[in-house]
């Protein structure tokens, strides 16, 4: 399960990045609502920008933000890596279970299992994907 969740997250984040980069290439990376339209490098003149409108929402989640979120998710994934519990907890821990390297310290009584709740929370963003597994829900 652990490697699968890590792979799943890497693939979803890579998809997010590709979609954001494609959008940034086509429309610029920073979008704002001006008058009744979203303005990037290309104007979205057919979208009405009333408070709470799709245009306002789209501009709020522009490609620049999506790429910052990709960077943040990758940073979290780099911090929450698997490590053998016995490599952290020492010889008193004899099985080959995996622990979260970020959340398990040498003085802990028991390891934080991998994948940890942080990665499960990140994966929950993609709960509507066909490869998402219910056992990943935290």
**Site residues for Zn ion per CB under 5 A:** 80, 100, 102-103, 116, 118
Q: Which residue sits closest to Zn ion, CB atoms considered?
A: 116
User: Closest Cα partner for 71 from 83, 59, 79, 60?
Assistant: 79
CB of 130 to Zn ion, least distance (A): 25
Least Å distance between CB 107 and Zn ion? Answer: 17
Residues near 129 by Cβ (< 8 Å), separated by ≥ 6?
Answer: 8, 12
Nearer to Zn ion, 62 or 112 (CB): 112
In terms of CB distance, is 28 or 113 closer to Zn ion? 113
Cβ distance to Zn ion smaller for residue 59 or 100? 100
Q: Which two three-digit tokens encode residue 79?
A: 């911090």
Q: Nearer Cβ to Zn ion, position 38 or 100?
A: 100
Q: CB of residue 5 vs Zn ion: minimum separation in angstroms?
A: 11
Q: How far is the CB of 102 from Zn ion (least distance, A)?
A: 5
């Amino acid at each position: 399960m652990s490697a699968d969740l890590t792979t799943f997250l890497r693939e979803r984040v890579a998809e997010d990045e590709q979609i954001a980069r494609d959008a940034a290439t086509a429309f610029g990376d920073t979008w704002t609502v001006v008058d009744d339209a979203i303005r990037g490098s290309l104007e979205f003149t057919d979208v009405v920008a009333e408070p709470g409108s799709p245009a306002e929402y789209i501009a709020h989640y522009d490609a620049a933000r999506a790429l910052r979120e990709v960077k943040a998710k990758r940073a979290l994934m780099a911090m929450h890596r698997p490590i053998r519990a016995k490599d952290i907890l020492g010889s008193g821990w004899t099985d080959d279970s995996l622990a979260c390297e970020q959340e398990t310290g040498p003085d802990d009584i028991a390891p934080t299992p991998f994948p940890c709740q942080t990665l499960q929370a990140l994966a929950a963003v993609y709960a509507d994907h066909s490869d998402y597994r219910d056992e990943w829900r935290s």
